[in-house]
């Protein structure tokens, strides 16, 4: 079912990517994800795809699992790419059928945009696959340190982010259960006309909100009972410290960004 | 673990004096409660749902400040005559642990050891010590082999043990258990009880809130709450001797207490007791006294005569499962720990129209999968399922199947959505395309059946937990299915809720509705017409309770994580102790009443006719 999301789940493997300091990992992943927007030429696209494939290989995350988790998004991106194919009118005309004109530029955008987003989505997925939620929280916490310094709830935001990841599978399972329960009561979600489907989704959303509120209540009780009071006085079982390999990873990432930008100027 | 240094020797770990608390809705949750818990004590708080016991748990672990009274927690005076000292509360909380019902809500990360470390990290414990605590506590709850596992993929009992380890790693002076077993199966509950026994041996102060009286035996002291007041208090024996009051409060006396009472009614000379060993010894001596030469164990262990199970005629079959295999591996993401192993393998069975069938098996045996397949929510990979003559496989048939077979999944109350009870119950009949008059008729009849008449215009979210479940069940009944499948319908209900649900199912059964229930309770299974036992995705056996639950099968059932109904298990043990009970198939006792009758017949040479005292 499309509702079952496998994204964001930690995949325990002892790879060099897993061992990286989460701050280095998150920083590098963000850098790669942002710089995909500079990808304009085939050379750049090939380079970015090769880099993503190399990271995927190093992470030892099963390729099928990684691809499966990004598939729904990628499919959607390619569908959006079709609009480019039909809409962009610059470049040489490849095909003209009445009002429909497909040009070289249109074709290129239809290929390039989804693929460069695929790189970004894959890097994000790999970051989640190779980092435990606790590490991720620590990394986000470190990134949000400037917020905390000026009195904004940086630590708390990091915790919310990590809890969100923790509860995605739980809520997804519950959504499935609700859809099943309503299917068994004749309220088939995902059948019939668009209007019918929109109406059928209402009860699912209400039931899901109710159960989420229930979880939130239990969770807040648990956080209180476990003395969670924000970041200030917390200690860390595995304190973060940047080792040589983390700096090396950042250097490789920086080199990647420089080469990517240079390729764009050729 | 050393108790916290904050408690001076001889002081109470927890002290409540004339505490009252009410919620906005004017509900008095606690009324003038005074209570002391000594260091190292194991206190059990009993009460039906709505008695205020969860509120009391929250007060004891410092999460809720009462409106009136005084509270001292682990040496910190947190509340003095209704005045809250927030700083003291914060200090006290660092020495108090809580484990509650739903393990899913208590786990904050997706790696077991990281989760156990979360509490100590919050307390600012030195990193070197955290590793030590995590190892020690995972070992204590026997979860050391799962340190790197993803808790969301563990069984309920395992998750709950991780939650306990997480609380213990904070080295609390008092640990509060708020119905830790309510959502678990029998096996999970037992594992939690073992952990609590170990904690008691280690001298850790425990407060255990529950509605299972059996769980209160091991406590040093028991208090019983009723409408926010302490109704009874004392040692387990003292409290349990108030049997009538306990029953009136909707608590179910332990099996030994029920049996000893039935035996005394039948004139057998045994003392009233709730202690298993004591009752067994007195029964053995009562029976030996009347039958000094009772030793005719010769013919007993003969293999049970296998009765040829008559296959029901095709028109009598409500649900027919023919060589069905199913695996979740085909779906896009595999969850639920089944891996790529089949969830069901080559299962065949027939459910007779109008019968009550119980499906039993331990967690992961494929029970719920079988239920989902019967309701056409999944289609078999191989074989076929026919419901009322309709094959569930073709997509166009599914709607027809949904009309014939109702599905009440686990915790159906989580699927409520409408603004009012009435609208929720009408949802199914409306989807059937019935006219308004018929929808109204069916909905009001369904609400009447579950005893919710008069609550039509209430929001389903305002009902109590047990009523929410009944409302969800009414939503299925309003569709008038010829058969209804219920997945663990009594899980998480208190005894009153359980007996209410049994009554409703009995009514339906009497009206000729085919009932299929997935259950963990062997006692419930013993009361059905057919028992289906699943083990490791395969059908182990199927037959009438008297064919399945026999002394002959006891070992096999135990090996696949199931027990025997308590009356039969007792009968077997008593026979081993020399009581001459007839345990041949067909005459072995499966209900408490029949066990009492059988024992009465053996004990008294001239038994009074006690058979007219039937009922449960």
* B332 has a pLDDT exceeding 60: no
Q: Of B158, B228, B162, which is closest to residue B189 (Cα–Cα)?
A: B158
**pLDDT at residue B507 tops 50:** yes
For chain A, percent of residues with pLDDT exceeding 70: 94
CB within 8 Å: A184 and B375: yes
Closest Cα of chain B to A183: distance in Å?
8
Sign, CA torsion B525/B529/B534/B537: negative
Rounded CA gap, A105 and B342, in Å?
50
Mean pLDDT confidence for B336-364: 81
- Alpha-carbon distance values, A69 to A7, A10, A62, A121, B151 (Å): 5, 12, 11, 10, 21
Within-domain flag for A102: yes
Quick check: is A57 in a domain? yes
Q: Is B329 on the interface with A (CB under 8 A)?
A: no
Cα separation values, A21 from A62, A232, A255, B112, Å: 21, 21, 19, 20
Chain A residues with beta carbon closer than 8 angstroms to that of B108: 162-163, 166, 219, 222-223, 226
Cα B567 from Cα B560, distance rounded (Å)? 20
A160 to chain B: closest CA residue? B108
DSSP 8-state class, residue B453:
T
CB count in 10 Å sphere of residue B305: 9
Q: Which residues of A touch B127 (CB under 8 A)?
A: 235-239
Give the best residue of A131, A182, A185, A205 to mutate against chain B (max B CB count within 10 A). A185
Contact yes or no for A227 and B428 at CB 8 A: no
Report domain extents, chain B.
14-248, 255-302+564-613, 314-330+341-543
pLDDT of residue B306 exceeding 80: no
Residues in A closer than 8 angstroms to B469, CB to CB, are none
Measure the CA angle with vertex B562, ends B501 and A184; round to 5°. 45
Please check the confidence at residue A250 and state whether its pLDDT lies above 80. yes
Q: Do B110 and A10 touch (CB under 8 A)?
A: yes
Of B102, B119, B134, the CB nearest to A227: B119
Nearest residue in B to A13, CA atom: B148
The owner of tokens 């009523």 is: B467
Residue count of chain B, please give it.
616
Which pLDDT score is estimated for A188?
67
Distance (Å, whole) CA B183 – CA B414: 14
Which DSSP state fits B195? H
Domain interval for residue A244:
16-265
C-beta neighbour count of B348 within 10 angstroms:
12
Nearest in space to A246 (alpha carbons), one of A86, A21, A79, A29: A21
DSSP state of B251: P
- Out of B41-45, B132-136, B234-238, which region has the weakest mean confidence (pLDDT)? B234-238
B299: pLDDT strictly greater than 80: no
Q: Is residue A128 part of a domain?
A: yes
The per-residue pLDDT for B290 is 55
Number of domains in chain A: 1
Half-sphere exposure of B488 (CA within 13 A, CB side): 19
Structure-model confidence comparison of residues A155 and B361, the more confident one: B361
- The angle formed by the CA atoms of residues B9, B14 and B15, to the nearest 5 degrees, is 105
Residue among B108, B166, B475 minimizing CB distance to A185: B475
B232-264 pLDDT tens trace: 999 988 898 888 888 888 888 888 888 988 998
Q: Which residues of A touch B476 (CB under 8 A)?
A: 184-185
The predicted complex's ipTM stands at 0.79
Label residues B536-564 b or e (16+ Cβ within 10 Å = b): ebbbbebbebbbbbbbbbbeebeebbbbb
Whether residue B526 has pLDDT greater than 60: yes
pLDDT band at A90 (very low <50, low <70, confident <90, very high): confident
Per-residue confidence at B425, pLDDT binned at 50, 70, 90? very high
Render pLDDT for B110-129 as a digit per residue (tens, 0 to 9).
889 999 999 999 999 999 99
Residue of B nearest to A222 (CA): B106
| pLDDT at A163 > cutoff 60 | yes
B477 pLDDT exceeds 80? yes
Per CB-CB distance under 8 Å, the chain B contacts of A231 are none
Alpha helices in chain A (DSSP H): 16-19, 22-35, 42-59, 63-87, 104-129, 133-143, 145-149, 154-184, 194-225, 244-265
Asked if pLDDT for residue B43 goes beyond 80, the answer is yes
Do residue A187 and residue B96 have CB atoms under 8 angstroms apart? no
Inter-chain contact B335–A4, Cβ cutoff 8 Å? yes
A133/B61 CB distance under 8 A: no
Residues of A in contact with B106 (CB under 8 A): 218-219, 222
Given a contact cutoff of 8 angstroms between Cβ atoms, the answer to whether B325 and B380 are in contact is yes
Contact B611, B597 (CB under 8 A): yes
Of A163-172, B436-445, B605-614, the range with the lowest mean pLDDT is B605-614
- For the stretch B192-214, pLDDT in tens is 999 999 999 999 999 999 988 88
User: Do the domain assignments include residue A4?
Assistant: no
Q: Which of A143-152, A248-257, B444-453, B525-534 has the lowest mean pLDDT?
A: A143-152
Mean pLDDT of B345-374: 91
* A224–B93 CB contact, under 8 Å: yes
- Residue B119, phi then psi, degrees to nearest 5: -60, -55
Query: Among B63-72, B124-133, B328-337, B558-567, whose mean pLDDT is lowest?
Result: B328-337
Domain B14-248: top CATH class: alpha beta
A150 touches B at CB < 8 Å: no
- Which pLDDT band, with edges at 50, 70 and 90, does B493 fall under? confident
pLDDT at residue B10, as a whole number? 57
> Could you tell me which chain B residue has the CA closest to the CA of A218?
B105
Is 90 exceeded by the pLDDT of residue B403?
no
pLDDT surpasses 60 at B525: yes
Among chain A residues, the shortest Cα distance to B411 is held by: A177
Domain B14-248 matches domain B314-330+341-543 at the CATH topology level: yes
Whether A15 and chain B come into contact, CB under 8 Å, resolves to no
Q: Give the pLDDT mean for B378-402.
A: 89
- If you average pLDDT over residues B497-506, what whole number do you get? 91
**DSSP three-state, residue A10:** coil
Query: Mutual orientation of helices B156-168 and B186-201 as an angle, nearest 10°?
Result: 20
Whether B417 and A68 lie within 8 Å, measured CB to CB: no
Closest CA to B590 of B528, B510, B499, B533: B528
DSSP string across B376-441: TSS--SEEEEEETTEES-SHHHHHHHHHHEEEE-SSGGGG--SSSHHHHHHHHHHHTT--HHHHHH
Q: Nearest Cβ partner of B63 from A177, A204, A224?
A: A224
For chain B, counts of helices (H) and of strands (E): 22, 21
Average pLDDT for B580-598: 84
8 A C-beta contact, residue B427 and residue A187 = yes
What residues of chain A, 178 to 207, have a C-beta less than 8 Å from chain B?
178, 180-188, 203-204, 206-207
Question: Smallest CA–CA separation between A92 and chain B, in Å?
Answer: 41
Phi/psi for B520 (5° steps) reads -100, -10
The answer, for A230 touching chain B at a CB cutoff of 8 Å, is no
Superfamily of chain region B314-330+341-543: P-loop containing nucleotide triphosphate hydrolases (3.40.50.300)
Q: What are phi and psi of B344, to 5 degrees?
A: -145, 140
User: Is pLDDT of B601 > 50?
Assistant: yes
Higher pLDDT pick, B606 / A198: A198
- Match 């001298």 to its residue by tokens: B203
Give B-chain residues touching A240 at CB under 8 angstroms: none
Determine the average pLDDT of the residues in A188-200.
72
The verdict on a CB contact (< 8 Å) between B335 and A187 is no
Whole-model pTM above 0.90? Answer: no
Nearest to B252 by CA among B598, B569, B522, B497: B497
Judged by average pLDDT, the poorest of B44-48, B49-53, B384-388, B438-442 is B49-53
* Beta strands at B174-178 and B405-408: parallel, antiparallel or unpaired: unpaired
Provide mean pLDDT across the span B374-400. Answer: 90
* Beta carbons of B375 and A237 less than 8 Å apart: no
Residue A10: the pLDDT is: 77
């Amino acid at each position: 079912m499309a509702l079952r999301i496998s994204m964001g789940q930690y995949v325990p493997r002892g790879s060099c990517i897993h061992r990286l300091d989460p701050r280095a990992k998150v920083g590098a992943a963000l850098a790669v994800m942002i710089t995909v927007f500079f990808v304009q030429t085939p050379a750049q696209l090939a380079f970015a795809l090769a880099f993503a494939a190399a990271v995927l290989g190093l992470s030892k995350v099963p390729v099928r699992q990684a691809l499966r988790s990004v598939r729904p998004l990628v499919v959607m991106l390619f569908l959006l790419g079709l609009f480019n194919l039909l809409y962009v009118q610059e470049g040489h005309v490849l095909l003209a059928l009445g009002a429909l004109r497909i040009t070289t530029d249109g074709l290129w955008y239809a290929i390039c945009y989804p693929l460069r987003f695929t790189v970004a989505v894959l890097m994000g997925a790999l970051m989640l696959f190779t980092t435990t939620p606790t590490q991720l929280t620590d990394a986000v916490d470190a990134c949000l340190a400037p917020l905390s310094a000026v009195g904004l709830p940086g630590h708390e935001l990091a915790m919310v982010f990590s809890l969100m990841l923790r509860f995605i599978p739980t809520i997804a399972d519950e959504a499935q259960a609700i859809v099943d329960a309503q299917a068994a009561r004749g309220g088939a979600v995902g059948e019939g006309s668009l209007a019918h489907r929109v109406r059928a989704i209402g009860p699912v959303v209400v039931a899901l909100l109710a159960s989420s509120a229930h979880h939130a209540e239990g969770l807040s009780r648990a956080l209180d009972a476990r003395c969670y009071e924000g970041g200030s006085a917390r200690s860390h079982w595995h304190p973060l410290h940047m080792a040589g390999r983390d700096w090396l990873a950042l250097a490789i990432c920086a080199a990647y960004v420089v080469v990517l930008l240079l390729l764009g100027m050729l | 673990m050393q108790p916290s240094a904050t408690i001076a020797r001889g002081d109470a770990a927890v002290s409540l004096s004339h505490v009252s608390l009410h919620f906005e809705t004017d509900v008095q949750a606690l009324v003038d409660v005074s209570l002391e818990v000594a260091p190292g004590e194991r206190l059990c708080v009993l009460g039906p749902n709505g008695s205020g016991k969860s509120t009391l748990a929250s007060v004891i672990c410092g999460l809720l400040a009462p409106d009136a009274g005084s509270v001292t927690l682990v040496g910190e005076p947190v509340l003095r005559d209704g005045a809250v000292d927030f700083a003291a509360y914060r200090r006290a909380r660092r020495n108090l642990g809580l484990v509650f019902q739903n393990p899913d809500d208590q786990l904050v990360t997706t790696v077991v050891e990281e989760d156990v470390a979360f509490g100590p990290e919050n307390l600012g414990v030195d990193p070197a010590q955290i590793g030590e605590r995590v190892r020690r506590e995972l070992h204590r709850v026997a979860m050391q082999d799962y340190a790197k596992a993803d808790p969301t993929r563990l069984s309920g009992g395992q998750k709950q043990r991780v939650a306990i380890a997480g609380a213990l790693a904070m080295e609390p002076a008092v640990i509060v258990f708020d119905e830790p077993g309510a959502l678990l199966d029998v096996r999970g509950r037992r594992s939690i009880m073992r952990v609590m026994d170990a904690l008691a041996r280690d001298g850790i102060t425990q407060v255990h809130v529950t509605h299972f009286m059996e769980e209160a035996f091991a406590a040093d002291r028991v208090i019983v709450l009723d409408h926010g007041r302490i109704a009874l208090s004392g040692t387990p024996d003292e409290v349990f001797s108030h049997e009538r009051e306990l029953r009136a409060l909707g608590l179910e006396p332990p099996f030994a207490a029920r049996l000893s009472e039935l035996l005394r009614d039948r004139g057998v000379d045994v003392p009233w007791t709730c202690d298993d060993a004591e009752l067994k010894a007195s029964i053995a001596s009562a029976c030996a006294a009347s039958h000094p030469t009772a030793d005719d164990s010769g013919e007993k262990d003969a293999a049970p005569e296998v009765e040829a199970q008559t296959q029901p005629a095709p028109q009598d079959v409500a649900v027919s499962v023919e060589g069905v295999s199913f695996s979740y591996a085909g779906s896009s993401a595999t969850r639920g720990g089944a891996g790529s192993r089949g969830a069901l393998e080559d299962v065949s069975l027939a459910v007779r129209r109008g019968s009550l069938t119980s499906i039993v098996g331990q967690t992961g045996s494929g029970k719920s999968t079988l239920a989902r397949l019967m309701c056409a929510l999944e289609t078999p990979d191989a074989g076929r399922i026919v419901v009322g003559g309709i094959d569930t496989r073709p997509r166009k048939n599914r709607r027809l199947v949904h009309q014939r077979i109702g599905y009440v999944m686990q915790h159906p109350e989580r699927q409520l959505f409408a603004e009012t009870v009435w609208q929720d119950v009408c949802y199914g009949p409306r989807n059937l395309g019935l006219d308004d008059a018929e929808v109204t008729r069916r909905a009001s009849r369904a609400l009447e059946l579950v005893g919710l008449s008069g609550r039509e215009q209430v929001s389903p979210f305002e009902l109590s937990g047990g009523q929410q479940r009944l409302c969800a069940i009414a939503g299925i009944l309003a569709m008038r299915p010829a058969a209804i499948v219920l997945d663990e319908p009594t899980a998480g209900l208190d005894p009153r809720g359980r007996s209410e649900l049994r009554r409703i199912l009995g009514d339906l059964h009497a009206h000729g509705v085919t009932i299929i229930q997935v259950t963990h309770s062997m006692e419930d299974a013993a009361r059905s017409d057919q028992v289906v036992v699943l083990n490791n995705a395969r059908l182990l056996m199927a037959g009438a309770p008297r064919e399945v639950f026999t002394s002959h099968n006891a070992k096999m059932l135990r090996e696949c994580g199931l027990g025997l109904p308590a009356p039969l298990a007792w009968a077997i043990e008593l026979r081993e102790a020399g009581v001459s009970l007839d345990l041949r198939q067909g005459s072995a006792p499966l209900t408490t009443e029949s066990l009492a009758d059988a024992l009465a017949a053996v004990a008294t040479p001239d038994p009074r006719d006690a058979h007219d005292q039937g009922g449960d």
